[in-house]
Amino acid sequence: MVMNPLLIPTDLVTRLRTARRVAVLTGAGISAESGVPTFREAQTGLWARYNPEELATPEAFRRNPRLVWEWYAWRQERVRQAEPNAGHYALVEMERRIAEVALITQNVDGLHRRAGSQQVVELHGNLFRVKCFAEDRPVENWPESANIPPRCPHCGSLLRPDVVWFGESLAASALRVAEQAAVTAEIFFSIGTSALVYPAANLPFTALAAGATVVEINPQPTPLSPQVTFSLNGPAGVILPRLVEQVWGDAVGISECRL
């Protein structure tokens, strides 16, 4: 059901008012209105000639650790300059209004937590965490050095971003929590994701199979679109505040006071 993105379907408003368990899967699109480029849109500047899917791999890191480390440093700087947007804040409000909201994100930018979301499952890790390439354990401090990437203070191996690269497995615990949320949710939102990356892209289908109402929020169609219950075609930063206002009226101000 393709809807006018500015008008939230009455049926969805009613279901949200009585919902007790909601799951939300977000992708890079929810950070687009914060000025953070989405994962697959053309990269800019010196990174324009690289395909993110080729850089976000252990092979790329082994081949050219300095290049991959500097790509992540560039992305960290982009995110540091960004702020959560009205879409992030609307999800914080939804978390306050509904008994159980599981927020599952593919994003590594940390913007949901910066907006104030409490229950965040970071399926693909976090841009601002670092781990040892050899020992695969987080490293918080390392001696200043001219080496790029820096070295692990415990074993001397290279340090790497603590993100899940293509070809690497997701943390079993995070995936288990996400799958459980998809199976038990009454309403499952898929927001700002091209629904191409697995196993995250399986989650909305898991929710559908369990009988959930599935809502997609995206200006563009995705492989998930034909299957969803409600398809809201527009930017998350506009639709989510509108949805929160229509469902919980007195939560007004999200779309105004925080833009």
Which residues line the annotated binding site for substrate? 72, 75
Annotated binding site for NAD(+): 106-109, 192-194, 218-220, 236
Query: What is the smallest separation between the CB atom of 202 and ligand BV8, expressed in angstroms?
Result: 7
Q: Which residue shows structure tokens 């979301």?
A: 117
Give contact residues for ligand BV8 (rule: CB under 6 A): 27-30, 32-33, 38-40, 53, 56, 106-108, 124, 163-169, 192-194, 196-199, 217-220, 222, 235-237
Q: Which one, 98 or 164, has the nearer CB to ligand BV8? A: 164
Q: Which one, 85 or 213, has the nearer CB to ligand BV8? A: 85
| Neighbouring-strand partners of residue 129 | none
Q: Which one, 21 or 227, has the nearer CB to ligand BV8? A: 227
| Neighbouring-strand partners of residue 138 | 131
For residues 183 and 205, what is the distance between their CA atoms, to the nearest angstrom? 10
Q: Which one, 240 or 247, has the nearer CB to ligand BV8? A: 240
Instruction: Give the pairing of strands 120-122 and 125-132.
Output: unpaired
Q: Which residue is nearest to ligand BV8 (CB)?
A: 29
The residue type of 48 is A
| φ, ψ at 166 (rounded to 5°) | -60, 135
Query: What is the smallest separation between the CB atom of 51 and ligand BV8, expressed in angstroms?
Result: 11
Nearby residues of 198 by Cβ (< 8 Å), 6 or more positions away: none
Cβ neighbours of 57 (radius 10 Å): 16
E strands in 50-119: 100-105
Tell me the catalytic residues.
Answer: 124
Query: What is the smallest separation between the CB atom of 236 and ligand BV8, expressed in angstroms?
Result: 4
Query: What is the smallest separation between the CB atom of 150 and ligand BV8, expressed in angstroms?
Result: 19
